[in-house]
Amino acid sequence: DAGITQSPRYKITETGRQVTLMCHQTWSHSYMFWYRQDLGHGLRLIYYSAAADITDKGEVPDGYVVSRSKTENFPLTLESATRSQTSVYFCASSDERRELGEKLFFGSGTQLSVL
Amino acid sequence: AQSVSQHNHHVILSEAASLELGCNYSYGGTVNLFWYVQYPGQHLQLLLKYFSGDPLVKGIKGFEAEFIKSKFSFNLRKPSVQWSDTAEYFCAVTSGNTGKLIFGQGTTLQVKP
């Protein structure tokens, strides 16, 4: 299916485990983003990527790792999950810098609970 | 560091009241500014944007925003709100040089019929 898809939709894990959230987009957009959404904090940028093999830290990168070996995929890994990482995670993509923000497409989100 | 601050976390209005939501950003260079709305259970939807030119921008659903460069502000306004405007509103900014898109904390607007 065309669009931006995240998997899984829901995930429960335990403290200390490694978890990978997947994000796949079919438009070949250059820019991809990972946000977490928490009550009172809005959307906070974790990492973003301007192209394949180019990633950069956002506002709250600690405890997270990303990779972008292919343009269409942008997985987010929690190396050792903590309870503070319980959140809803959104992946987003956008095509060109001049349209960044104007044409921004979000995935459906992954609700992660760390017990 | 680039950041966005929304002062009002929760606003309650009656229908037909006027709305103004504050947004301030910190970044010294060229910025692009946005307001998004998120209705319950839905994705973010772009309300309006400012890239350059007229600092007063009009968006969808009767919303407008004014970019005041000297105040680093981009406040959202609507003259008369409706019950259907009940949603969460996010201000966002990208800098001219990076691909970093930063959101504010969000403002929950509740409009009472």
pLDDT digits (tens, 9 = 90+) for B72-85: 999 999 999 999 99
What single letter denotes the amino acid at residue B72? F
Q: How confident is the model at residue A105 (pLDDT cuts 50, 70, 90)?
A: confident
Segment B34-93, tens digit of pLDDT: 999 999 888 888 999 998 899 999 999 999 999 999 999 999 999 999 999 999 999 999
| Range of weakest confidence among A15-24, B26-35, B75-84 | B26-35
Q: Classify residue B101 by its DSSP letter.
A: E
User: Looking at beta carbons, which residues of chain A come within 8 Å of B92?
Assistant: 101
Helix-then-strand count for chain A, H and E: 0, 11
What confidence score (pLDDT) does residue A97 get? 64
CA distances from A52 to A32, A72, A92, A97 (A): 10, 8, 15, 15
Q: Is the dihedral of CA A21, A27, A33, A36 positive or negative?
A: negative
CA distances from A57 to A35, A76, B12 (A): 11, 12, 36
Residue B6 near chain A (CB below 8 Å): yes
Which residues 82-111 of chain A have a CB within 8 Å of chain B?
A: 92, 94, 97, 100-102, 104, 106, 108
Segment A43-95, tens digit of pLDDT: 999 999 999 999 999 999 999 999 999 999 999 999 999 999 999 999 999 88
Q: Can you tell me the distance from the alpha carbon of B92 to that of B104, in angstroms, rounded to the nearest whole number?
A: 6
Shortest alpha-carbon distance between residue B40 and chain A (Å): 13
Interchain contact, A45 vs B100, CB within 8 Å:
yes
Interchain contact, B105 vs A42, CB within 8 Å:
yes
Q: Is the pLDDT of residue B94 over 90?
A: no
Interchain contact, B44 vs A106, CB within 8 Å:
yes
Where is pLDDT greater, at A32 or A96? Answer: A32
Mutate to test the interface with B, among A100, A105, A108 (most CBs of B within 10 A): A100
Interchain contact, B106 vs A43, CB within 8 Å:
yes
Which residues 51-110 of chain B have a CB within 8 Å of chain A?
A: 90, 92, 94, 98-106
